């Protein structure tokens, strides 16, 4: 496992990361998640405009080993979907914190951000797995 857990991001115990940009959250999967999944071959994401509640499944990541649901760490409305990840799922393995973001949502309850894990909290969580 790599120790590259960007400190500016927030995390969930479902291995999603969130980058907060004002009232918009950029969401992707962590390096730990892509490593555990193995070679990712398919990504299914929602359409822009879909409203998500906190911890609602919003998509699927399929690897050669398994299929995993993606869970929204925050409530909001999907503003943008990363078509590059749909067209080139292997980006999730190569750049989980970079070009492989999944969706951008407009937050409906910004206070939910306070419940997400910091990078150090996420690192501590991973050490218990």
pLDDT confidence of residue 40: 97
Confidence of residue 4 (pLDDT cuts 50, 70, 90): confident
Q: What is the pLDDT of residues 106-118, one digit of tens each?
A: 999 999 999 999 9
40-46: list long-range contacts, CB under 8 Å, 24+ apart: 40/89, 40/90, 40/92, 40/93, 41/89, 41/90, 42/89, 43/85, 43/86, 43/89, 43/92, 43/102, 44/86, 45/70, 45/81, 45/82, 45/85, 45/86, 45/102, 45/103, 46/78, 46/81, 46/103
Domain map (residue ranges) of the chain: 10-110
Q: What is the pLDDT of residues 61-85, one digit of tens each?
A: 999 999 999 999 999 999 999 999 9
Mean pLDDT (whole number) for 11-15: 97
On whether the 10-110 domain is CATH 2.40.50.100, my answer is: yes
Mean pLDDT (whole number) for 2-24: 92
């Amino acid at each position: 496992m790599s120790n590259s857990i960007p400190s500016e991001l927030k995390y969930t115990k479902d291995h999603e990361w969130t980058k907060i940009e004002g009232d918009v959250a950029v969401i992707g999967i962590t390096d730990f998640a892509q490593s555990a999944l193995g070679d990712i071959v398919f990504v299914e994401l929602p359409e822009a405009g879909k409203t998500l509640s906190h911890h609602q499944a919003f998509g699927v990541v399929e690897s050669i080993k398994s299929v995993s649901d993606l869970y929204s760490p925050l409530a909001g409305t999907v503003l943008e979907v990363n078509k590059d990840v749909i067209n080139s799922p292997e980006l999730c393995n190569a750049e989980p914190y970079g070009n492989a973001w999944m969706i951008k949502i407009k937050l409906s309850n910004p206070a939910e951000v306070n419940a997400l894990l910091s990078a150090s909290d996420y690192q501590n969580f991973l050490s218990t797995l």
